[in-house]
Amino acid sequence: MIGALAAITGQTARLSFRSGGGAFVGLVFFLAVVTIVPFGLGPDLNLLSRIGPAVLWIGALLAALLGIDRLFHEDHEDGSLDLLLLSGLPLELVVLARALGHWLATGLPLVIAAPLFGLLLGIPPLALAAVTLTLLAGTPALTLIGAIGAALMTALGRGGLLVAILVLPFTIPVLIFGVSAAAATIIGPAPFMPPFLILCAFTLVSAVVAPIAGAAALRASLA
Amino acid sequence: MPMAFIELANPSRFLDWSGRLLPFLWVATGVALGIGLYLSFFVAPPDYQQGETVRIMYIHVPSAWLAMFGYALMASAALGTLVWRHPLADVAARSMAPIGAAFTFLALVTGSLWGKPMWGTYWVWDARLTSVLVLFLMYLGLIALWRAVDDPGRAARLVAVLILVGAVNLPIIKFSVDWWNTLHQPASVLRIGGPTIDASMLWPLLIMAVAMMLFFLALTTMAMRNEILRRRLRTLQLTAAATAG
Amino acid sequence: MDFGDHGGFIIAAYVVSAIVLAGLTGWIVLDGRALRRRLAELEARGIRRRSAKAETPP
């Protein structure tokens, strides 16, 4: 069973890396957001470095939700979802495997790119490390929450934007604690660990809730 | 009590029963609202700090309570859809969503109008206000999802999943003023140890809350009747289209 | 009665509430009327529910 799940994860990641898959689009979108902000706010590096962690987090959030609506769409279209249901693999673990594959292709590049893009915003080195760490801990939660929305939208042909709107409220706490931890090194003597640990908790909880909710939504789409 | 749910599962029987209940609901709403408004404006004393603006409380707090109560009812209905497959559970949830959204909107607006004279600002991003805004967005998201899926049965199950996932927001709203340092004041009615609010203000508040709840139930009943008729209409239109071809 | 310094806010709050709740009620009532009218139209054209057909004599 682990083999089958690993295969699903790998396949999802590989498909995302292909031209229509959205991995690189997400990265480019992330860069676009980071680049646009200084144009809007002005090049004052003092200001940019203070809000830098927040800008990186917002960019990562939007980029993570960008391509997620298609997560289960092809499966539904070509019937492989029915096969997965019949295969005896727990649907919950299939959802988890798909989300993990998607994160490897879209979330992990964001985490790797974050310190580089953070330099564009003048973020100091310690804060760069903090932001990267928080993104590493938090982007899986964003992908998992997005997967719930994707599962809900599976049966519909349209609706990428609707998915993003539906799951956005649930991603807000992740954003709040991610920025809180990342900015702790810049703004005042605020502690890093408490918000960071809560962020990790969010990822762990969503790793449980998202597969359950996602599987329920997929079953409802098929019925 | 469970037998009542089973007996009312038949839409025709529900239409019949609700049609007889509705006039009583409206009369009760009118009476409670009349008493509540009278007490709120002419009997309740002005606050020693806030003066007359405390009277906004008598509409703001019941709206907020109903905003959450509405979602809690929808969550119960969602369980009814997913677990027991009760035929009217989705009808109930779908009918309640716009009404709950309206009360959430009122809670936000009346709260904002109360905040300006009391705190000096129309809005602040503290935990309580933010989570109620999130509740409003969730209501809208659920309504959007219902409309996006054509088949009512499938829509019912999908939305039920989303309602249950979103239910995590309710304890956050309730306890936000305890867990975080918020500008919004802490709980003064529904708390361990009993209400800290004075009886002269508590009674108008409770009666307004009852009035709003009856209003909510009356509107929900009407909306549920509409929804049942809407589904009948859809079935008939599909039949007509099928036989006309 | 004296609404105090901030009377405008109090009145605004109650007026907005009245408008929203009245609007909501009106929408539900009008929606119901439209539904019943369209159902009556279909019935006039002879399209009935199966359970309604069962009540008519053979």
Mutate to test the interface with A, among B145, B150, B159, B176 (most CBs of A within 10 A): B145
The total of structural domains in chain B comes to 1
The domain containing residue B47 runs over which residues?
21-238
Q: Name the token pair of B210.
A: 């009852």
In this prediction, residues A42-52 reach a mean pLDDT of 85
CB contact under 8 A, A169 and B141: yes
pLDDT digits (tens, 9 = 90+) for B39-83: 888 888 888 787 888 888 999 999 999 999 999 999 999 999 999
Report if residue B245 sits inside a domain: no
CA B77 to chain centre: 13
Q: Which of B161, B131, B144 is CA-nearest to residue B67?
A: B131
Report if residue B43 sits inside a domain: yes
% of chain B exceeding 90 in pLDDT: 45
Report if residue B177 sits inside a domain: yes
pLDDT digits (tens, 9 = 90+) for A125-146: 888 999 999 999 999 999 999 9
The CATH number that applies at residue B190 is 1.20.120
CA C34 to chain centre: 9
- For chain B, say whether A163 makes contact (Cβ under 8 Å): no
As a whole number of angstroms, the distance between CA A34 and CA A22 comes to 18
Confidence of residue C51 (pLDDT cuts 50, 70, 90): low
In this prediction, residues A97-121 reach a mean pLDDT of 90
User: How does the average pLDDT of chain B come out, rounded?
Assistant: 88
pLDDT at A19: 59
Residue C46, Ramachandran bin (φ over 0: left; ψ between -120 and 50: alpha; else beta):
left
pLDDT at B214: 96
Question: What phi and psi values does residue B47 have, to the nearest 5 degrees?
Answer: -75, 145
Q: Name the token pair of B112.
A: 């904002």
Residues in chain C with CB shorter than 8 Å from the CB of B12 are 51
In this prediction, residues B149-160 reach a mean pLDDT of 86
The pTM for the full model equals: 0.83
Residue A79, Ramachandran bin (φ over 0: left; ψ between -120 and 50: alpha; else beta):
left
- Using the 8-state DSSP alphabet, how is residue A174 labeled? H
CA distances from C36 to B191, B226, C33, C39 (A): 46, 9, 5, 5
In this prediction, residues A22-45 reach a mean pLDDT of 85
Per DSSP, chain B holds a count of helices (H) and strands (E) of 8, 0
pLDDT at A88: 80
Place of tokens 């594959």: A101
Q: Which of A65, A64, A68, A63 is CA-nearest to residue A29?
A: A63
Report if residue B7 sits inside a domain: no
pLDDT at A155: 67
Report if residue B232 sits inside a domain: yes
Q: Where are the domains of chain A?
A: 2-222
pLDDT at residue A122 above 60? yes
Cβ(A114)–Cβ(A28) below 8 Å: no
Report if residue B142 sits inside a domain: yes
pLDDT at C55: 44
Question: What phi and psi values does residue A61 have, to the nearest 5 degrees?
Answer: -60, -50
pLDDT at B102: 97
% of chain B exceeding 70 in pLDDT: 96
CA angle, corner B24, sides to B19 and B28, nearest 5? Answer: 145
Mutate to test the interface with C, among B110, B114, B118 (most CBs of C within 10 A): B110
